[in-house]
Amino acid sequence: MLNLTFTTVKLQSKHKDLTIYLLNQLYRNITVDFALNGFDGYIKIHENNPKIVILDLVMPGITGLDFLRNIKLNNKLNSLKVLIVSAYLDDSMRRELKKLGVDGIITKPVNKAELKEKCDELLGVGAKQ
């Protein structure tokens, strides 16, 4: 059985609660760690070594784009799977995210089926864990 750790970084309260709820519904034996901002998130991913980082683009202190850039430029972190969950995703932002190496993108509001599909894709699994 796969033990999963997800770190979510600055999803707004209603989206954070829904995302954590959905992840707990979709997967068994998971830990969902929540960071209030990018600086806290950066510390948590170093401490917890998550399988997936779920990242909002709008957060205090550092933008989600800069947070993603820092992950992908760090040799110790660049293999981490990053899933963007944001309401602010125009075509130019999507191109920039893909250029930086984002692993998945979901537009808010979060849909259970889409979240499951993206997470399974990033984890390389197809069945409930």
- Report the run of H or E that residue 54 belongs to, with start and end: strand 52-55
The CATH number assigned to the domain holding 100 equals 3.40.50.2300
In a domain, 50, yes or no: yes
In a domain, 79, yes or no: yes
In a domain, 127, yes or no: no
The pLDDT value recorded for residue 1 is 33
Residues spanned by the domain of 49 = 4-122
In a domain, 68, yes or no: yes
In a domain, 128, yes or no: no
CA distance 110 to 124: 21
Looking at the structure of the chain, the number of domains it has is 1
In a domain, 101, yes or no: yes
In a domain, 129, yes or no: no
Residue at token pair 């997470």: 119
User: Mind listing the pLDDT tens digit for each residue in 55-111?
Assistant: 888 887 888 899 999 999 999 999 999 999 888 899 999 999 999 999 999 998 888
